[in-house]
Structure 1
Amino acid sequence: MCGITGFFSFQQPFSENQLKQMTGKLAHRGPDAEGFFFDGLCGLGHRRLSIIDLSSNANQPMTSANGQFMCVFNGEIYNFKEIRSDLEKEGVVFKTQSDTEVLLENFVKNGVESFEKLNGIFAFAIYDKLKEQLIICRDRLGIKPLYYFHQGTALAFASEIKALLTLPQVSKTISKTALADFLHLGYIPSDSIFSDIKKLPAACYAVLNENNLKINTYWQMAEKITANVIANETQALAELDVQLRRSVDLQMVADVPLGVFLSGGIDSSVVATMASQVSATQIKTFSIGFEEEKFNEAPFAKAVAGHLQTDHHELIVTAKQAQNLVIELIDVFDEPFADSSAIPTMLVSALARKHVAVALSGDGGDELFFGYGSYNWATRLQKPLLKKLYPIMAPLMAFGKKDSFRKAANMFRLPESNLTSHIFSQEQGFFSQQEVNNLLNQTSPFHPESEVFNRSLSAMEKQAFFDLNYYLPEDLLVKVDRASMRYGLEVRVPLLDHDLVTWALNLSPDLKYKQGIRKYLLKKVLYQYVPEKLFDRPKRGFAIPLAKWLTTDLKFLIDEFLDEKLVRQAGLVNSERVERLKNQFLKGGNFIYNKIWILIVLHQFAKKHL
């Protein structure tokens, strides 16, 4: 895994010194080597974290054998040996053992059609000296990041926003749409918080030449949903076992030590189980726990690790450790990001990096196999009888003292339009669309793109499809990438192998949620190898005791970042409404802690950048 930067311009507004400044901002992503290419028209920068072919021959930027193309690449191509073998049969001669060279020579041979052959996590840029054009590309699920700034015939790109912010051409003007989306969802599904900085969408490549910038799609998730589903349970169980084993085995290729994040939940336990079975040596596992018993999954992780006989490493997190990391969050993410599980993710990454350079994670299991409570809400809210009762039930629920009653009241008030995003927002306890409008004095609702499917989807499938397209790439995968790369750790996500994703999209929803059991089929696979009794407990997210900490060890964040004067000076939201929310929370309204957290993160960002 690495950090990449670059620019391409016929107007020559960029300099070699600017390229070095951009690349220097990504030193944490690649501590092993640094490289540059600059010819006036194009500049490419690279920071390397050596994983495959540790020799200097694999350093970047890399030049093709014919000298026409230059490449910088962040990620891993898991099937590079297979592609290399095919190219060698066609007469291609390789100088290194790296996947970068395979990626480049595959492009030389097959052009943009080569992207469809890639199985991996990647973001890369290829400069064609002869045609004077630049191509940038991103993996199918948006696992590896790629941001860009485009103005006229000039384009600059980077793995992280902080690199682009070094350029004087890039304005820090805030996107009002992104601000509204952040308050509603806790993450930014649009391009970025800055109007000038865009994200290259997942499964896309962009071509820039003297005439224009054109963005093309090479893979579409909606098109992978077939008319028929896999409904036979025996067949599905066997196929899922094979898919999981194949994906984990493929993603364990590395020339450096490798381990697994193990929370003790279903997804990470599946990955750890398969890794233990395909590995010739004992695997290392890593987990995080908390002093607060309600949030502490460390004993469960330890039990699974014991059964699998892994070399297990554990860290119990204190509020003090979290306090130290909170200050770093805005530097790590560059824009407002309210997923508080970023804190334990950073801590487990730091722990793992002491022992390995690569870790496998269980991200994707909830979205593919119906692991969230929001999927049940999606079904409930579509029932005709309940719809008639909403106006009566909502005010009654609102008076309930339990958080679950308040959540239900909010769910019953949701508008019909854009229901998937509203369900997600209220399941997380973020601001409703009406509350966003009040905070911003404007209406800017988030509209998920409409998709046409080859079959009618259930309410659960629609909600999961929303998460796969927005929550997963723009929250969970952003969190994992930034948190791990902060420490120079590469994290791979076997459950998001694109062939496994395609298979899961066509698994009958009745085998994902059956007899009231979420992730039914995934659990059946796991229980073939690990005793079911080790998971006999309610599902917990990878969460921290945020509500408690905000009234104790982290209360200083409220005092500093929700100070009335600071909020008013920032001018991002209605300061009077923020003051009312703050007072409500401090007087015992703990149930709004996620709204308070969003506002803290927003004003931490404002204090740094505005």
Structure 2
Amino acid sequence: MCGITGFLGSTVSTDAAAPLLKSMTVALCHRGPDEKGVYTAPGVGLGHARLSVVGLADGKQPMAAANGDLVISYNGEVFNYVELRERLQARGRRFLTTSDTEVILHLYDEMGTACLDELNGDFAFALWDARRQNLWLARDRIGVRPLYYTEIRGTLFFASEIKAFMAAPGFAAELDPVALDQIFTLWAPIAPRTAFKGVRELPPGHMMIAQGSSRTVSQWWRMEFPRDGEFKTPERPVEQLGELLEDATRIRLRADVPVGAYLSGGLDSSLITALAARVAPGRLETFSVGFRSPEHDESLWQAEVAEKLGVQNHQVRCGEDEIAAEFPTIIAHTECPVLRTAPAPLYQLASIVRANGMKVVLTGEGADEIFAGYDIFQEAAVRRFCARQPGSTRRPLLFRRLYPYLPQLQHQSVDYLARFFSTGGDGLTDPLFSHRPRMRSTAAAKLFYSPDLKYTLGDYDAAADLAAQLPGDFRRWHPLNQAQYLEARFLLPGYILSSQGDRVMMAHGVEGRFPFLDHRVIAFAAGLQPELKMRGLREKFILKEAARGLVPDTVVNRPKQPFRAPDSQAFSTPAARASTETVLSEGALAETGLFNSAMVERLKVKAINGRATSFKDNTAFMGILSAQLWHKVFVTDQPNRTETK
């Protein structure tokens, strides 16, 4: 992976173009520490910070076609570039490099923007077509690689990260209040909106054609499901899934540098590690996070899998002090307020990958979305059952199956869960039915909004905004598929692959690769009968069947444990209290004007005394703290504030 930057517009003079691009690209040097390059022509410029993974000697960017008419700055990997290159050569195409970048140039020259359908990969790129005098921006199907853009005085600027725009004259960071409200409802902004007012994200599976002052954004791919009742299950679904995953893993091992793997101890990363160990020559190196707090630690599971598979595992130990100390840096990289500290240990994990001389790892992200592994899918099924059969005596049994990790479900707990799962029963036709409880719990943080922020937002409804963006045939899908779409289309790229993925990995120049997000795997899983993904309340049924014999049965059969890290409790330690007090001081809160200082003070006291233990308190505290840190990093601490564009 790499970092890309650039502009299209006449307001940047010829003399200023190269220095501006260099400044923008330097801001992304953590993404590409190996090489930097720029390309300029009248009214257009491309910049590139390179992480050398494929075509080490001849893959420098921006890269031009042989005749100079096409120039590309590209971030990511096309994993089927070997096969595409062979096809192109068979048609008489001559290659000057061994890189996958040149494959895109040749494909575009032959097929135009339709070439995207041929690419199996994770990518975001900008391609300047001098013949047509237009700039083409494109982003991969699921949104693994980021791409942002903004307009400043009629000139289009784009980059892999928003911080690159800080170098552009006339840019000033300002928090978008609507984006904040979306985060405090949905955990992430709804693309194309970002936390920065006036900055847009090119949504996953979308492209833009920019020519002169024209900007045309269109969707080139979307996640689709059959209509409910129209599923066509293959004859050998388990075997076919295993073959697909093995090939998805095999092509993601293509690199001119060593490739490692993340190993959490759960099913998803263990299966990918097992497949990689079987396919890759030599001994695979893996990397894990261990926590000092026993309730978060999975070290025993990691050790069991590593021993079973014969891999060399490296572990970083993470505690509350490290999380609190790193959190401001995390916000600088995520460029967005977050509701969890989970990115912090993953930031540390990427650091040990790089410290061990590696810069590419396979990970298990995507499996929970594609194969229905999250609690939210099971909870939605139980809520539907409770709504349709409110008097059923099976409810306690369902609760115990749903929450096997709770040591004892007392009578009071069953009563509470019965009330929880009965709420919203009148909204079975609500397209957001599966996610309403999460939204309600998260939205409790909005109670801390300042009067000014409440006035600014008016009657804005983030959930209604999300519902309005759902595809037209959404209601014809099975309820499980509807819930999967909400996770995969919004939270996966908006938070999991960004704040917990690309941003914290690329902060150390580490590229993540995701076999479960191969578009062939996504399409295969989408077409399966829902019962093959969630059988009763057994999550990821078909994936577990495919994993048998490859990973230990204890891992296959264990209940899912979501990746969690200490949240508000990390800021209750003596080392963290002073900085927390400063960021949440009355003066700092008055500067942002986002939150009610008296209410935040009471929450802060609870947090630093270790009493903000409920989900709602934790979510509110982390959201407020990260929003305040965002303002400090991108507004208060910026040395040269300019007028807002």
TM-score by length of 1: 0.91
- 2:597 corresponds to: 575
- Flag the 1:587–1:281 CA change in 2: closer, same or farther, 3 A: closer
- Flag the 1:211–1:545 CA change in 2: closer, same or farther, 3 A: closer
CA distance in 2, matches of 1:164, 1:288: 33
How far does residue 384 in structure 1 lie from its aligned partner after superposition? 6.8
1:6 counterpart letter in structure 2: G
2:591 counterpart letter in structure 1: Q
Match status 1:206 vs 2:208: yes
TM-score by length of 2: 0.87
Aligned residue pairs, count: 598
CA distance in 1, matches of 2:386, 2:295: 37
- 2:534 corresponds to: 513
Within 5 Å, which residues of 2 pair with 1:425-504? 425-426=439-440, 429-432=441-444, 435=447, 440-441=453-454, 442-446=458-462, 447-448=465-466, 449-453=469-473, 456-478=476-498, 479-504=500-525
Higher relative contact order (CA 8 A, sep 6+): 2
How far does residue 96 in structure 1 lie from its aligned partner after superposition? 0.6
Match status 1:422 vs 2:436: yes
Name the SS for the 1:305 alignment partner.
Answer: helix
1:485 counterpart letter in structure 2: M
Is the CA contact 1:433–1:445 (under 8 Å) kept in the aligned structure 2? no
Within 5 Å, which residues of 2 pair with 1:156-175? 156-175=157-176
CA distance in 1, matches of 2:94, 2:254: 22
- Flag the 1:409–1:184 CA change in 2: closer, same or farther, 3 A: farther
- Flag the 1:223–1:519 CA change in 2: closer, same or farther, 3 A: closer
CA distance in 2, matches of 1:290, 1:468: 28
Which of 539, 543, 549 is matched with 2:570 structurally?
549
CA distance in 2, matches of 1:404, 1:602: 36
2:589 counterpart letter in structure 1: V
Mean Cα displacement is larger for which, 68-77 or 505-514? Answer: 505-514
Unaligned runs of 5+ in 2: 396-409, 636-645
- 1:365 corresponds to: 367
- 2:284 corresponds to: 283
How far does residue 607 in structure 1 lie from its aligned partner after superposition? 2.1
Name the SS for the 1:293 alignment partner.
Answer: coil
Is the CA contact 1:227–1:454 (under 8 Å) kept in the aligned structure 2? no
2:315 counterpart letter in structure 1: E
2:3 counterpart letter in structure 1: G
Q: Could you list the per-position Cα deviations for residues 142-180 of structure 1 after superposition, in whole angstroms to 9, with x for gaps in the alignment?
A: 110000013575211000010012213334233221010
Mean Cα displacement is larger for which, 217-226 or 97-106? Answer: 217-226
Is the CA contact 2:378–2:537 (under 8 Å) kept in the aligned structure 1? no
2:364 counterpart letter in structure 1: G
% same residue: 28
- 1:397 corresponds to: none
Is the CA contact 1:225–1:506 (under 8 Å) kept in the aligned structure 2? no
Is the CA contact 1:183–1:436 (under 8 Å) kept in the aligned structure 2? no
CA distance in 1, matches of 2:487, 2:188: 12
How far does residue 411 in structure 1 lie from its aligned partner after superposition? 6.5
- Supply the RMSD in Å over aligned alpha carbons: 2.8
CA distance in 2, matches of 1:64, 1:408: 64
CA distance in 2, matches of 1:102, 1:224: 33
Within 5 Å, which residues of 2 pair with 1:234-273? 235-273=236-274
Q: Could you list the per-position Cα deviations for residues 323-379 of structure 1 after superposition, in whole angstroms to 9, with x for gaps in the alignment?
A: 331131122122223332101111111111223221001000111111111112222
- Flag the 1:459–1:223 CA change in 2: closer, same or farther, 3 A: closer
Mean Cα displacement is larger for which, 58-67 or 407-416? Answer: 407-416
How far does residue 406 in structure 1 lie from its aligned partner after superposition? 7.3
Name the SS for the 2:384 alignment partner.
Answer: coil
CA distance in 2, matches of 1:45, 1:379: 48
Match status 1:188 vs 2:184: no
Which of 590, 600, 606 is matched with 2:613 structurally?
590
Is the CA contact 2:228–2:477 (under 8 Å) kept in the aligned structure 1? no
Is the CA contact 1:225–1:505 (under 8 Å) kept in the aligned structure 2? no
Which of 537, 541, 545 is matched with 1:524 structurally?
545
How far does residue 278 in structure 1 lie from its aligned partner after superposition? 1.1
Q: Could you list the per-position Cα deviations for residues 512-556 of structure 1 after superposition, in whole angstroms to 9, with x for gaps in the alignment?
A: 111431111111111222231245544222211224323325444
Mean Cα displacement is larger for which, 24-33 or 309-318? Answer: 309-318
Mean Cα displacement is larger for which, 513-522 or 113-122? Answer: 513-522
CA distance in 1, matches of 2:368, 2:51: 30
Unaligned runs of 5+ in 1: 394-399
How far does residue 314 in structure 1 lie from its aligned partner after superposition? 1.4
- Flag the 1:603–1:587 CA change in 2: closer, same or farther, 3 A: same
Mean Cα displacement is larger for which, 1-10 or 525-534? Answer: 525-534
How far does residue 437 in structure 1 lie from its aligned partner after superposition? 7.1
Name the SS for the 2:316 alignment partner.
Answer: strand
CA distance in 2, matches of 1:594, 1:501: 31
- Flag the 1:223–1:210 CA change in 2: closer, same or farther, 3 A: farther
- 1:396 corresponds to: none
Name the SS for the 2:30 alignment partner.
Answer: helix
